Amino acid sequence: MAARSRQAVKRDTKIVAGVLAVIAGAILAASVTCAFAIAHGASMRWRWLFRIFCHGIPERCLYLWNVPMPICARCTAIYVGLLASIVVFQILPRMSERVARIVLYAAAVPMAIDGLTQLARLRVSTNHLRIETGLILGIAFGVWVLNAMENHTNVTIP
């Protein structure tokens, strides 16, 4: 049985994957560092720096060192999903940008249902569910972006 050969990845796709990894990794690292600093005596006010990325409601956050992270469980999972999407993109067969977009929309549905039913006060979500929906969306978004870059043809402006 012949081994499946790896498909070559375009240079632009590698650059975008690197940018995704740097942004998601930097936000996650800064969040962990903030929780660590607060656990060791820094002011809880440092969490406010992350409000640009997330609401950071403590009840919806994961705890490190008995301190809530400054980004919620769902946002944490989205950033982890973005990092994981780079590996998933390498494993999955290539797909068209349109198919990847449909998968992205489908991945957004569980998170939308979870968020909207909670907003309507029909139920209370859990961090476990927030992590699952965020991870699914983060992976789907990253795979969509990378497939869109891989399928993009260069346009020359005359």
Tens of pLDDT, residue by residue over 67-96, are: 999 999 999 999 999 999 999 999 998 898
The pLDDT of residue 136 is 97
b vs e for 21-55, b when ≥16 Cβ sit within 10 Å of the residue's Cβ?
eeebeebbebbbebbeebeeeeeeeebeebeebbe
Distance between CA 147 and CA 7 in Å, rounded?
Answer: 12
Q: What is the pLDDT of residues 100-156, one digit of tens each?
A: 999 999 999 999 999 899 889 999 999 999 999 999 999 999 999 999 999 887 655
Within 10 Å of residue 137's Cβ, how many Cβ atoms?
22
From residue 75, alpha-carbon distances to 3, 95, 129, 147 in Å are 37, 26, 12, 22
pTM (two decimals): 0.89
Angle separating helix axes 73-91 and 127-151, nearest 10 degrees: 40
Whole-angstrom distance, CA of residue 24 vs CA of residue 30: 10
Show the tokens assigned to 149.
């870059």
